[in-house]
Amino acid sequence: MKNLSFSDWVLIAVLAAVSILFFNVLAPLFLDIVIAIVLVSLFWELNRKLRGSTGPRIASILSMLVLLLIIIVPTVIIGTYAVNEANPAVASMQQNLPQIQQQLSGGSIQRFIQNTPVLRQLSQYISPSALVNIVYSFVTQALSYTTNFLQFMISQASQFVFHLFVTFVLIYFLFLRGDTLVNRLNRVVALHHSVGLLESSQLAVNAVLIRSIVSGLIHFVLGWVLFALFGVPYALLWAVAMIPLAFFPILGNALVYLVAGAYKLAIGDTFLGIVLLLVGFIVPPLIDRFIRPMFMGEREVISPGLLIVSALGGGLAFGFLGIIIGPVAAALFVVAWEYISVELKGQETTTPVEPAEPTVTYRKAA
């Protein structure tokens, strides 16, 4: 490597300054860019097949319309209904919370403890007053967090249209010029490494996203039906919350049932409250047990524990959409390091001959 001259260092400094400036320009739209890349990745094979018969521009428009009909339109419709229910739900919870807290301070918790075998057994070792405080704290905190979450949904709705427009524009140009961007990356990185790593990353991200989305939709439909049958107010809103929470395996959707069950117990409906609690402990693990191997299987990259932690970290770092970005980042991180470790050890990689037929091998699900 040659020694860098003063002019070379000046060029590097200018390049770094311009790159930092460009990064700051794109920073407010970072989430829109990530979401657009993820959605295009999910529908890229469709776009590639359409290009063979229609050309790049028509294929990009058709791919975007398919994405619109399958994901965007249902999301907007369900989101609109959810926001419409969120306003009265927040007002109702804020109005009823003092009444519920007062009722819990009375004899309802004591009756619930006596009617619940597990808690009745625990009362032999823990004083009833301590159990009352535990149940009281759980119910009030759950209702408080639910109210805050609904308020957050309402506050984000006003920005949704703008970011949806930006994401849609990005999706079109990524469908149109995505192959050009990949080719430029191939010129920067050795082709052998870039093709294998890109295809490994695409498989991993698709597996994580499809599993979570399908699981979320199943929980959404089932939860909506159960909440409506059990007479839980604002059933659609409870069910909508299950879609993003599907990125938290088992725990996310169970939390919705537990909060709904706690609400029923708080208003004195002991039977339905216990039923919802049991559903929360039984149904989400069963659904996740069937869905996870179906879409992950040989392609599992991250464990459920890492999926939960990455979704939590993404939510704290980027807000609501970070729940999706976190698992995607975790999948990319694990794939990149595993791929590099294989290269450094000098082992034979499974890089495909043709980009359309990836053969990258993943470890089996535990």
Task: Give the pLDDT confidence score for residue 349 in this predicted structure.
Answer: 44
Task: Give the pLDDT confidence score for residue 189 in this predicted structure.
Answer: 55
| pTM as predicted | 0.62
Task: Give the pLDDT confidence score for residue 171 in this predicted structure.
Answer: 85
Mean pLDDT across the chain: 73
Let me know if residue 21 belongs to a domain: no
The pair of structure tokens assigned to 304 is 């459920």
Which of 63-72, 259-268, 304-313 is the least confident region?
259-268
Which of 126-130, 198-202, 262-266, 285-289: highest mean pLDDT?
285-289
Let me know if residue 54 belongs to a domain: yes
Task: Give the pLDDT confidence score for residue 128 in this predicted structure.
Answer: 59
pLDDT at 21 over 70: yes
Question: Which burial class, exposed, middle or buried, applies to 284 when counting CB atoms under 10 A from its CB (0-12, 13-18, 19+)?
Answer: buried
Q: Percentage of the chain with pLDDT > 90?
A: 0
**pLDDT band, residue 242 (cuts 50/70/90):** confident
The pair of structure tokens assigned to 140 is 């009030």
Let me know if residue 263 belongs to a domain: yes
Let me know if residue 365 belongs to a domain: no
pLDDT (average), residues 41-66: 83
Let me know if residue 22 belongs to a domain: no
pLDDT at 357 over 50: no
Which amino acid, one-letter code, is at 274? I
Distance CA 9, CA 17 (A): 12
Let me know if residue 15 belongs to a domain: no
Task: Give the pLDDT confidence score for residue 192 in this predicted structure.
Answer: 52
**What is 66-135 written as a DSSP string?**
HHIIIIIHHHHHHHHHHHHHHHHHHHHHHHHHHHHHHHHHTTHHHHHHHH-HHHHHHTTTS-HHHHHHHH
Tell me the pLDDT tens digit for each residue of 272-303.
888 888 888 888 888 777 776 665 555 556 77
Let me know if residue 294 belongs to a domain: yes
pLDDT at 111 over 70: no
From residue 314, give the alpha-carbon distance in Å to each of 80, 324, 331.
Answer: 25, 7, 13
Distance CA 259, CA 146 (A): 8
Distance CA 339, CA 358 (A): 14
Closest CA to 73 of 149, 159, 141, 168: 168
Per the structure, the count of domains in the chain is 1
pLDDT (average), residues 38-62: 82
Let me know the angle formed at the C-alpha of 265 by 263 and 268, rounded to the nearest 5 degrees: 115
Are 108 and 266 spatial neighbours (Cβ–Cβ below 8 Å)?
yes
Are 200 and 339 spatial neighbours (Cβ–Cβ below 8 Å)?
yes
Let me know if residue 244 belongs to a domain: yes
The pair of structure tokens assigned to 183 is 């080719």
Phi, psi of 249, deg, nearest 5: -55, 135
Which of 171-175, 210-214, 281-285, 297-301 is the least confident region?
297-301
Phi, psi of 297, deg, nearest 5: 50, -120
Which residue range(s) make up the domain with 318? Answer: 33-344
The pair of structure tokens assigned to 332 is 């990319």
Are 119 and 131 spatial neighbours (Cβ–Cβ below 8 Å)?
yes
